[in-house]
Amino acid sequence: MKKRLREIALLIEGEVDGDGDIVITGASGIKEAREGDLTFLANTKYAHLLASTKAAAVVVEKGWKITTDKPLIRVSNPSLAFSMLIELFGPKKITFPPGIHKLALVSKEAKIGTGVSVGPFAVVEEGAEVGDRTVIRSGVYIGHESRVGSDCHIHPNVTIRERCVIGSRVIIHGGSVIGSDGFGYVAVEGLHQKIPQIGRVVIEDDVEIGANVTIDRARFDKTIIRKGTKIDNLVQIAHNCDIGENTIVVAQVGISGSTSIGKNVILAGQVGVVGHVRIGDNTIIGAKGGVSKNIPSNSYYIGIPAMDAKQFKKIYAAYVRLPALVARIKELEEKLAGPGGQTVEDAETKND
Amino acid sequence: MKKRLREIALLIEGEVDGDGDIVITGASGIKEAREGDLTFLANTKYAHLLASTKAAAVVVEKGWKITTDKPLIRVSNPSLAFSMLIELFGPKKITFPPGIHKLALVSKEAKIGTGVSVGPFAVVEEGAEVGDRTVIRSGVYIGHESRVGSDCHIHPNVTIRERCVIGSRVIIHGGSVIGSDGFGYVAVEGLHQKIPQIGRVVIEDDVEIGANVTIDRARFDKTIIRKGTKIDNLVQIAHNCDIGENTIVVAQVGISGSTSIGKNVILAGQVGVVGHVRIGDNTIIGAKGGVSKNIPSNSYYIGIPAMDAKQFKKIYAAYVRLPALVARIKELEEKLAGPGGQTVEDAETKND
Amino acid sequence: MKKRLREIALLIEGEVDGDGDIVITGASGIKEAREGDLTFLANTKYAHLLASTKAAAVVVEKGWKITTDKPLIRVSNPSLAFSMLIELFGPKKITFPPGIHKLALVSKEAKIGTGVSVGPFAVVEEGAEVGDRTVIRSGVYIGHESRVGSDCHIHPNVTIRERCVIGSRVIIHGGSVIGSDGFGYVAVEGLHQKIPQIGRVVIEDDVEIGANVTIDRARFDKTIIRKGTKIDNLVQIAHNCDIGENTIVVAQVGISGSTSIGKNVILAGQVGVVGHVRIGDNTIIGAKGGVSKNIPSNSYYIGIPAMDAKQFKKIYAAYVRLPALVARIKELEEKLAGPGGQTVEDAETKND
């Protein structure tokens, strides 16, 4: 694929700033770029990389002041423009032809839309529905009476249990399990007796779920992931959780039962949230944070247990100076004790 | 399904307190209940929800003082009674008919009990045994010479490696891997050389294992999960661990090699335990705790590293007041330094 | 299998110290050993177990001073020697006969080496290559144009997406997902729009990957796991990471995007590493550590956020004494206030 820079600018609705006649032969990240590649700058803080990149030209944001001798294409959103370019210059996309593979097992009592692809060794059970143009890859299991919307992509070896509801344009990566039983027991004479988990999982439109994620079905009613939310790999979402719209759940986060997360929230990697609490809209929980109570909207919390980030930083600043603080206390004690006096540490040492 | 409240009371061995003639049309949680539903109260601390629930009647514990105009059924264990009700009012349970699916692959040298269901694309290898009425779902792999007991339910895409032993009434949720190699290497000229892992995994009766769990086989001998223990999703149990009876292991816990956990222990979410230690019976480790040494029985430990909860709370109470403590130390220094004197912080600032 | 001790010594290039005529009937760990077993001592710190082991003889290192009446075999590396013995005395290894199972689905456009075993319900897509003697187990998916080297073992239900490159002698345990999309979105009018992830995953020779691991493909270019590195269960490696040679990544570690890890590094269990940082060669990060910045080579870091272990230990020593420090500050305040004076805590109490 070869195109002149000015042709590409037209495709991504940008304006050339420099020589529009140069020929572009590929697209790549700014560090990996080779000669002839077009690259992009997502953030001016990486502008120093322009000096070393081998790229032939760069996509940048309109209005940025950029010092470089490379031709630019100026657009309103470089990351977005670049995503469009990749479709053009990237490797040919793998497609999965419509049709039910002869080694798939689709119940006669399942409803399959038009243009659906069902891969080998996939199972679609009785009463399940699959929307138009959805791709069900090999080894996927779709349980009884579950519904998957249109234009979804369910990657290999995903398990979707019975009576779950998946919206449209949902992507679920390999190995994830949707609708496993909630973790609930009642103590009967000292033994843990299983509580039936008869609810469902509902995943709304435009959600993406990473690889080897687990989302448990509700005890009653539903566990719900609302539209536009993106979930990274190895995340655990327990029974009866309600995850708001456009929320970001980074890898290895765990959310306990009946917890509710707002819209536009970010839970960074390895965060844990206890059960039965609410995190408000637009809140960010920093990596590894442990949420043990309700958190208001528009907050930034970090730490275990998680607290307001400003408070955490003040405490942490003192925490790292603890050895010095101990020395200062000792010095104060010595001054007050006067010559020959005994400080607390002297006494402690003697008691050992 | 419609039943009068007094008929239901008979079924769950309870006593009606109020109008036993009302007609119940469903069963649900107290928050999700609709008109005509029967609900339950697991704990008096949720009694305030009685004012707002739409439920027609409520299952409560004998002897509780409840202020409501709704008819009640009084039982000795509301959660348990309610689980029984769900079987009655819940959605029809999905069942898996006995028989080996024609697209399953069961070795002629495997022993399959009566009433066993083996789903499509499941594999049961040579020398494996599956007990009566056990359900092996689609995509499950059962390795050579492994034994699965009776009345088990092995969900889709589970992998059970060779020579493992699974008891009766065991449930394993989707995607879990039982019997993967322990993580063991010996350094040979700077390289990590694999140590053979020739032991097994033994899972006793009445254990439930969540989705995408990993339980490694032992180097020698066995990794063992003892009877009645319940393991949540995405838990890691390393080689040669011994997990006691009736223990609860919450999601994303990781237990390192050769560690031994007692009976009736609770490891809360995201706990980590180092190798070669022992946690005593009836001990609780709070969420995200990091266990780095032996922990006695009947303890409650939290923190990283985990310590006695009472000690942790004392320290933590001081920790959150650290900025104030620093100010108090400074004030003491100023008092002692007198007018014109220099405090430690003044000196630090000058040295920056 | 019965052998005299002196015969075994020959096999493992060791020297008998004691009665070489005794008959060995098995091999086992020092705690699990039964009469007639040969066992080994990996480290002199376990030497006290020699008094209680039932083993008939012990493999130890040349030059160690050992007090026991049991016959010994002295070798240069006991762990390694013992691994060799297990091949001799351990249970018969399960092997997978060469050939493509009639229920596997291998594209005519795939290249399969000699002696390859492809299990039932495995899929090898168009353009994929599998090297000589590699074992592809049941339910494995190998995507379009991916290459797997020779002498690999890919356990059941593993998913390898398109255009990934796996070296030789690589082991991947059950349920792992290689090449899932990196977690990348660009905000467009308040919604998260997916950024195409067109790079690959490259796994070099002699890497072992545990069960239910997830390794994301790069946005561009590659995510790379370099040769000899060993990855435990449930680990998350994000897009564009570069994991150096002979590194150990323990269970449930999470590494964020574009981070680079050196050679011979150890990341202990449940460590988290933020994106876009570098951890130098030979560095150890202690269990549950949270790495938030670059870490130099040859370091030992612990804590959240991770800091130099010596610094951490000093701070932690003061941290556990915080309640005592508070008391000492109060005492100083009282002394300075004099009789009838008011301390800060008195004032705080009044303000409550």
Instruction: Say whether C269 and B272 touch across the interface (CB within 8 A).
Output: yes
Q: Which long-range contacts (CB under 8 A, 24 or more apart) does C324-328 make?
A: C324/A344, C325/A325, C325/A326, C325/A329, C325/B318, C325/B325, C326/B318, C326/B321, C326/B325, C328/A329, C328/A333, C328/A344
Whether residue C41 is found in the same domain as residue C166: no
Whether residue B27 is found in the same domain as residue B148: no
Q: How much is the average pLDDT of B147-164? A: 98
Catalytic, out of C48, C173, C239, C276:
C239
Name the residue among B182, B184, B195, B192 with its Cα closest to residue C264.
B192
Residue B182 lies in a domain: yes
Cα distances (angstroms) measured from residue B272 to each of A233, A334, B234, B262, B306: 19, 42, 13, 15, 10
Question: By the 8 A CB rule, do B58 and B18 touch?
Answer: no
The tens digit of pLDDT for each residue in C154-177 reads: 999 999 999 999 999 999 999 999
Whether residue C9 is found in the same domain as residue C137: no
Whether residue C284 is found in the same domain as residue C345: no
pLDDT for residue A45 is more than 70: yes
> How would DSSP label each residue in C201-256?
EEE-TT-EE-TT-EEEPPSSSEEEE-TT-EE-TT-EE-TT-EE-TT-EE-TT-EE-
Beta bridge partners of residue A295, listed in sequence order: A279
B126: confidence class by pLDDT, cuts 50, 70, 90? very high
Domain boundary residue among B65, B89, B113?
A: B89
B84: confidence class by pLDDT, cuts 50, 70, 90? confident
pLDDT for residue C351 is more than 60: no
C322-337 helix and A344-351 helix, angle to the nearest 10 degrees:
140
Residue B311 lies in a domain: no
Whether residue C304 is found in the same domain as residue C163: yes
Percent of chain A whose predicted confidence (pLDDT) is above 70: 96
Whether residue B114 is found in the same domain as residue B68: no
Per-residue b or e along C63-89, where b marks 16 or more CB atoms closer than 10 Å to that residue's CB? eeeeebebbbbbbebbbbbbbbbbeeb
Q: What is the CATH number of the domain that holds C123?
A: 2.160.10.10
At residue A61's C-alpha, the angle toward residues A55 and A62, to 5°, is 125
Using CA coordinates, name the residue in chain A closest to C103: A103
Using CA coordinates, name the residue in chain A closest to B93: A198
Residue A139 near chain C (CB below 8 Å): yes
CB within 8 Å of C216: residues ≥ 6 apart: A211, A233, C179, C180, C181, C182, C183, C197, C201, C223, C237, C238, C239, C257
Widest distance between CA atoms in chain B = 94
Quick one: pLDDT at residue B352? 45
* SS3 letters across chain B: CCEEHHHHHHHCCCEEECCCCCEECEECCCCCCCCCEEEECCCHHHHHHHHCCCCCEEEEECCCCCCCCCCEEEECCHHHHHHHHHHHHCCCCCCCCCEECCCCEECCCCEECCCCEECCCCEECCCCEECCCCEECCCCEECCCCEECCCCEECCCCEECCCCEECCCCEECCCCEEEECCCCEEEECCEEEECCCCCEEEECCCCEECCCCEEECCCCCEEEECCCCEECCCCEECCCCEECCCCEECCCCEECCCCEECCCCEECCCCEECCCCEECCCCEECCCCEECCCECCCCEEECCCCEEHHHHHHHHHHHCCHHHHHHHHHHHHHHHHCCCCCCHHHHHHHHC
Higher confidence at residue C136 or residue B11? C136
Domain range holding B34? 3-89
Question: By the 8 A CB rule, do A217 and A239 touch?
Answer: yes
Instruction: Say whether B190 and C28 touch across the interface (CB within 8 A).
Output: no
Classify C246 in phi/psi space as left (phi over 0), alpha (psi -120 to 50) or beta: left
Residue C157 near chain B (CB below 8 Å): yes
CA distance A16 to A51: 19
Q: Which range among C41-45, C87-91, C277-281 has the greatest average pLDDT?
A: C277-281
Residue B123 lies in a domain: yes
Which amino acid is present at C178?
I
Quick one: pLDDT at residue A274? 98
Higher confidence at residue A119 or residue B28? A119
Residue B338 near chain A (CB below 8 Å): no
φ, ψ of residue C239 in degrees (nearest 5): -60, 140
Neighbours of C211 (CB within 10 A): 34
Identify which of C230, C234, C326 has the shortest CB distance to residue B325.
Answer: C326
- Tell me which of B44-48, B72-76, B316-320 is least confident: B44-48
pLDDT for residue A28 is more than 70: yes
Q: How much is the average pLDDT of B5-29? A: 93
Instruction: Say whether B175 and A159 touch across the interface (CB within 8 A).
Output: yes
Neighbours of C52 (CB within 10 A): 9
Instruction: Say whether B292 and C288 touch across the interface (CB within 8 A).
Output: no
Quick one: pLDDT at residue C260? 98
* Chain C hits for A212, Cβ within 8 Å: 175-177, 212-214, 234
Percent of chain B whose predicted confidence (pLDDT) is above 70: 96
Which residues in chain B (166-185) have CB-CB distances under 8 A to chain C?
175-177, 180-181, 183, 185
Residue A22 lies in a domain: yes
Question: By the 8 A CB rule, do A204 and A225 touch?
Answer: yes
Give C339 to chain A, closest Cα distance, Å: 15
Whether residue B145 is found in the same domain as residue B199: yes
Higher confidence at residue C2 or residue C340? C2
The tens digit of pLDDT for each residue in C25-80 reads: 988 888 888 899 999 998 888 889 999 999 999 999 999 998 899 999 999 999 88
**Domain count along chain C:** 3
Neighbours of B266 (CB within 10 A): 15
Domain boundary residue among C42, C65, C89?
A: C89
Quick one: pLDDT at residue C345? 59
The tens digit of pLDDT for each residue in A221-252 reads: 899 999 999 999 999 999 999 999 999 999 99
Q: How much is the average pLDDT of A159-164? A: 98
Which residues in chain A (240-279) have CB-CB distances under 8 A to chain C?
246, 248, 250-252, 264, 269-270
CA distance C200 to B31: 47
Cis peptide bond upstream of A71, omega within 30 = no
Instruction: Say whether C319 and B314 touch across the interface (CB within 8 A).
Output: no
What is the strand order of the sheet B230-231 is part of?
Answer: B99-100, B117-118, B135-136, B153-154, B171-172, B208-209, B230-231, B248-249, B266-267, B284-285, B300-302, B307-308
pLDDT for residue B268 is more than 70: yes
Widest distance between CA atoms in chain A = 95
Whether residue C84 is found in the same domain as residue C188: no
Identify which of B79, B87, B333 has the shortest CB distance to residue A186.
Answer: B79
The tens digit of pLDDT for each residue in A140-157 reads: 999 999 999 999 999 999
Give B302 to chain C, closest Cα distance, Å: 13
Residue A244 lies in a domain: no
CA distance B269 to B252: 6
B88: confidence class by pLDDT, cuts 50, 70, 90? confident
CA distance A172 to A203: 10
Q: Which of B328, B330, B335 to mutate to test the interface with C (most CBs of C within 10 A)?
A: B328
Using CA coordinates, name the residue in chain B closest to C253: B254
CB within 8 Å of C331: residues ≥ 6 apart: A344
Active site residue B155: no
pLDDT for residue A347 is more than 60: no
Q: Which of B136, B178, B183, B252 to mutate to test the interface with C (most CBs of C within 10 A)?
A: B183
pLDDT for residue C334 is more than 70: yes
Residue A200 lies in a domain: no
Quick one: pLDDT at residue C342? 61
Tokens read off for A109: 């009592």
Instruction: Say whether C212 and B181 touch across the interface (CB within 8 A).
Output: no
Name the residue among C143, C139, C114 with its Cα closest to residue C127.
C143
Enumerate the active-site residues of A: 239
**Complex confidence, ipTM:** 0.92
Whether residue B200 is found in the same domain as residue B247: yes
Q: Which of C183, C195, C291 to mutate to test the interface with A (most CBs of A within 10 A)?
A: C183
Residue C317 lies in a domain: no
Instruction: Say whether C272 and A250 touch across the interface (CB within 8 A).
Output: no
Residue B314 lies in a domain: no
Question: By the 8 A CB rule, do A156 and A139 touch?
Answer: yes
Tokens read off for B202: 């033994």
Give kind and range of the element (H or E) at residue C267: strand C266-267
Catalytic, out of B144, B155, B173, B239:
B239
Instruction: Say whether B326 and A318 touch across the interface (CB within 8 A).
Output: yes
Q: Which of A158, A159, A277, A326 to mutate to test the interface with B (most CBs of B within 10 A)?
A: A159
Give A185 to chain B, closest Cα distance, Å: 9
Tokens read off for B93: 């349970």
Q: How much is the average pLDDT of C248-275? A: 98
Instruction: Say whether C329 and B324 touch across the interface (CB within 8 A).
Output: no
Q: How much is the average pLDDT of B196-203? A: 95
* Chain B hits for C211, Cβ within 8 Å: 159, 177, 180, 214, 216
- Tell me which of A202-216, A337-351, C231-245 is least confident: A337-351
The tens digit of pLDDT for each residue in A281-336 reads: 999 999 999 999 999 999 999 999 999 999 999 999 999 999 999 999 999 999 98
Tokens read off for B265: 């222990």
Higher confidence at residue A90 or residue C209? C209
Quick one: pLDDT at residue C83? 83
Domain boundary residue among A73, A89, A105?
A: A89
Instruction: Say whether A344 and C328 touch across the interface (CB within 8 A).
Output: yes
The per-type count for chain C, helices as H runs and strands as E runs, is 5, 40
Q: How much is the average pLDDT of C88-115? A: 94
Whether residue B48 is found in the same domain as residue B123: no
C352: confidence class by pLDDT, cuts 50, 70, 90? very low
C346: confidence class by pLDDT, cuts 50, 70, 90? low
The tens digit of pLDDT for each residue in C208-226 reads: 999 999 999 999 889 999 9
CA distance C161 to B72: 56
Whether residue C18 is found in the same domain as residue C158: no
Q: How much is the average pLDDT of C296-305? A: 98
Residue A198 near chain B (CB below 8 Å): yes
Tokens read off for A113: 């839309």
CA atoms within 13 A on the CB side of B271: 28
Whether residue B63 is found in the same domain as residue B104: no
Quick one: pLDDT at residue B339? 66
CA distance B333 to C169: 65
